[in-house]
Structure 1
Amino acid sequence: MADNLRHGKACALVTVARAEGSTPREAGARMVVGPQSTFYGTIGGGTLEFEAIRRAARAAGSGKASFDLHSVSLGPDLGQCCGGRAELAVEVFTPDALETVELLAAREAEETPFATVSGLEPAGSLNRRIVETVPGDAFNIDTDPENGTRVLTERFGANLRPIFLFGAGHVGKALVLALAPLPFSVSWIDSRAEQFPGPVPANVKKICVPEPASLLEQAPDEAFVLAMTHSHALDEEIMARALLQQRFAYCGVIGSKTKRARFRRRLKSRGMDVSLISKMVCPVGVSAIKSKHPAAIAAGIAVEFLERDEAGHQQAAAGKGLAQNIPYGQ
């Protein structure tokens, strides 16, 4: 969005404000549309997105800042089979809003969720201010009881699950590519600088340290920890430290059932409780995928991470504990 405004072009931000029933995307999904129907992001494709792009491009083409909220029934209005209803917000930003957009973009780059509050003026334009309290809803309009004005609260910034990936070998390289478009923030750790490729995806940070296992102290609570280093001894050390901390949502190590049995014996010989050892995931990935091609292994791990991440968020909301209790791939 900021790039469009820097080049003197107005653009529209399309947001799924509300989703009911079967809809292509959830509330909070966004896309940016230019006056020539160029777009970035998606609200789910299909006729809903096609019509949203057309509407947003027309609004951006006017060159006037505006805010519009409209409801669409996917069946009767668009002839789609989903059967749900979506409420879309279309907000036009003009080049004079560049300073505000750059401020919001910088905050979004910090990779922590934040919220904005703005009053809906009679003309439909918005004047956002950043607040630190992050709401549960991605998009919400309330009426101020004191003056009767409408107030819009929006949640921005991705809630990315941190992954501490140990090992920059062939599977590690494939995995960071598989995770690139997914809601994860990857710390990629190895003691061998030459193993890392030059460019890496935007959600990946390369870390070269002589003692990789020491980085676990910097990993946040509820992070996913995955060991796939060149050394089984190092893998074991990483697992031992991770499991003993009892604060990670996932502790996995690449390998076979034989490796799992050996690691369990060794961890037990260290005096580790069996209940902790049982939290170690090995093999990792999707058991139905038998291929040993690095990209196939990476795809299976990415699927496992997505399932565990979603289950973890659901369990956290219900107060039921960690996602690592799912018997996936063991």
Structure 2
Amino acid sequence: MKEIKQIIAAYETACKQQQKAALATVVHIEGSSYRSAGARMLITEDGRLTGAISGGCLEGDALRKALLVMMDEHPMLVTYDTSDEGGSVLGVGLGCDGIIRVLIEPLTSHIEETPISLLKRVAASRQPSALVTFFTPDDKRNGRQGTTIAATEEGIHTAGSTSLVPCERISKDMQCVLAAQHTAFIAYESEQEGGTAILACIEYVAPPPALVIAGAGNDVLPLARLAELLGWELTLIDGRPNYANTGRFPDCQVIVSGPEQALQNVRIDERTAVVLMSHNYAYDKAIFKAVVGSLAGYVGILGPVKKRQRMLDELEEEGIVIPQDRRAQVYGPVGLDIGAETSEEIALAVVAEIKAVFAGRRGSHLRDLTGRIHQRQSRINPSLQTYGVLLLAAGESKRMGTPKQQLRYQERTLLQHAVSAALEAGVGSTTVVLGSEAAAMAKQLADISVDTVVNNDYAEGMATSLVCGVRHVMTHHPHVAHLIVMLCDQPYVDAAHLRALINQQRLTAAPITASYYEGRKGVPALFHQSVFPLLLALNGDTGAKHVIESFGDEVAIVAFPLGAVDVDTRDAYNKLFANV
């Protein structure tokens, strides 16, 4: 986020100086690279560079191409093959063993909404955002390429007069990126570009870490400076105005207050770290008491183990129960074990630990890692329009004694509940297979945008419904290449879980992605079209589980303990409400 803010500031300076500028964005990588997709660099016509797209090896060539882009005001997609040891691309052997695609787009100041406008909206948000940059590898000078869509907590924003893909076609994919919390690369079918492949880099942008420090002694100074250098949002609280003031801490919010009121106007979320280092036990404890039950993703306590344990014990004696998962977010002594002694070394250890915690890493030696340092995803996946849901709702409910599809749950029927989850997932099509009581159930779905197909052979077993549904999808929705098979008697299946299946399939490219509960793989499960023939070959009362088991370790899984809850009997249905 710091780089984005620096680019915004540099662009505003360029505008005041009436200088032309261009924005270079890494939109895709294959193999190894110094920076990941989403890295940016602002280039002004006087040759100034803000940000970076590599470790310094690509910037010179990008500058030359950016000057051309500024002259003709036309975007350009540039591909760098850094695996060329002979240096045939740039005149140097980069040796990074990767292919990097960089989009360079001109920035026109007289347009109201520009890529910089979108960056400003993202930088102003304390919630995760998504930025969309379109590029066309087969048409490197396509004038409509660029960073044109942003999704923030305020809504969806667009830049430029037109976008290669309309917002309504990409909005669900942006939601998936926000839910999965990682950048994705999506391919869209062109409607206007003469068959040119349109790719979108949908970048996940997390808000910067926020650091709240209780204490304003001299040992806090290097920690504050490091946090500022990293671009973290910094708040300092202390009751001593001689210590806590903007003269000593010019780059942060300073709050001079007692511990009881100090956090009243401080926003604490999952990306907030709180470090207690006032050297006043009572002050630290009061702050700890206020934040230990908050959303803060990290709470650090300067001092020995016994200080942390004393605070936890005393709060417990006061009747404050701290769950084990929250205790796991408490770090005391604070910092990684790097042999820190001085205040500067301690600051380094603390910042490194916070970074590791927020990144989900252990802070170990890179040389001991196997595989790549950065677990970056570069697969280009199809859009959600190529995914479909097949909901099987044709059964007779013999064990229940009444059509379970019609049972009420959360003020609607189980059938309506399942259909709602499928539609909310945002896939391209939803097909519902009906059988027993088909006419009555079809009325429930009359005003809903789903396909209904009747399986007249439902009494012969589940396989007939599965075959009926898959055939319908293949005939009426030939664009569907991935199909989620689900039932309506699993009440805890929601859109979030269906998206999780899609995200896992996109990450792994597995032929089948299944839900995992009670030590087994089951539905809902996502099947690639290569598996459709096996589903069509099923017969009798054999369900999709048989196909899932036949693929063994090739099946990707998504943990879903609540998938074990199904409504097959009246007793199970009654327990459903007993657990509410």
TM-score, normalised to structure 2's length? 0.47
The answer to whether the 8 Å contact 2:237/2:262 transfers is no
2:122 matches 1:74: no
Question: CA separation of 1:28/1:277 partners in 2, compared to 1, >3 Å: closer, same or farther?
Answer: closer
Question: CA separation of 1:216/1:164 partners in 2, compared to 1, >3 Å: closer, same or farther?
Answer: farther
2:46 matches 1:36: yes
How far is 1:237 from its partner?
2.0
Q: 2: distance between equivalents of 1:160 and 1:187?
A: 13
Share of identical aligned residues, percent?
24
Q: 1: distance between equivalents of 2:24 and 2:125?
A: 21
Question: CA separation of 1:140/1:34 partners in 2, compared to 1, >3 Å: closer, same or farther?
Answer: farther
Aligned 1:128-167 pairs, distance under 5 A: 128=148, 130-131=150-151, 132=155, 134=174, 136=177, 142-143=187-188, 146-148=191-193, 150=198, 155=203, 159-167=207-215
2:37 counterpart residue number: 27
1:296 counterpart residue number: 345
Q: 2: distance between equivalents of 1:217 and 1:103?
A: 28
The higher radius of gyration belongs to: 2
1:16 counterpart residue number: 26
2:290 to 218, 225, 241: 241
2:277 counterpart residue number: 228
Which structure has more RCO (C-alpha within 8 Å, separation ≥ 6)?
1
1:215 counterpart residue number: 263
Q: 1: distance between equivalents of 2:327 and 2:204?
A: 38
1:107 to 121, 125, 133: 121
Unmatched 5+ stretches in structure 1: 321-330
Q: 2: distance between equivalents of 1:279 and 1:126?
A: 40
The answer to whether the 8 Å contact 1:19/1:27 transfers is yes
Question: What amino acid is the match of 1:91?
Answer: E
1:86 counterpart residue number: 100
Q: CA RMSD in A?
A: 3.6
How far is 1:161 from its partner?
2.4
Question: CA separation of 1:32/1:129 partners in 2, compared to 1, >3 Å: closer, same or farther?
Answer: same
Question: What amino acid is the match of 2:75?
Answer: F
2:302 matches 1:282: no
How far is 1:138 from its partner?
5.2
The answer to whether the 8 Å contact 1:213/1:237 transfers is no
Paired residue secondary structure (1:181): helix
The answer to whether the 8 Å contact 2:69/2:76 transfers is no
Unmatched 5+ stretches in structure 2: 1-10, 136-140, 157-173, 362-374, 376-499, 505-557, 560-580
Question: What amino acid is the match of 1:174?
Answer: P
Question: CA separation of 1:95/1:238 partners in 2, compared to 1, >3 Å: closer, same or farther?
Answer: closer
The answer to whether the 8 Å contact 1:139/1:154 transfers is yes
Question: What amino acid is the match of 2:263?
Answer: L
How far is 1:225 from its partner?
1.9
Number of equivalences: 313
Aligned 1:173-184 pairs, distance under 5 A: 173-182=221-230, 184=232
Question: What amino acid is the match of 2:34?
Answer: P
How far is 1:125 from its partner?
6.4
Q: Deviations over 1:214-256 (max 9, x none)?
A: 517854331322211241111112223322x163321211112
How far is 1:163 from its partner?
2.6
TM-score, normalised to structure 1's length? 0.78
Q: 1: distance between equivalents of 2:331 and 2:344?
A: 20
Q: Deviations over 1:251-293 (max 9, x none)?
A: 21111234334334434433455735564311111222231x2
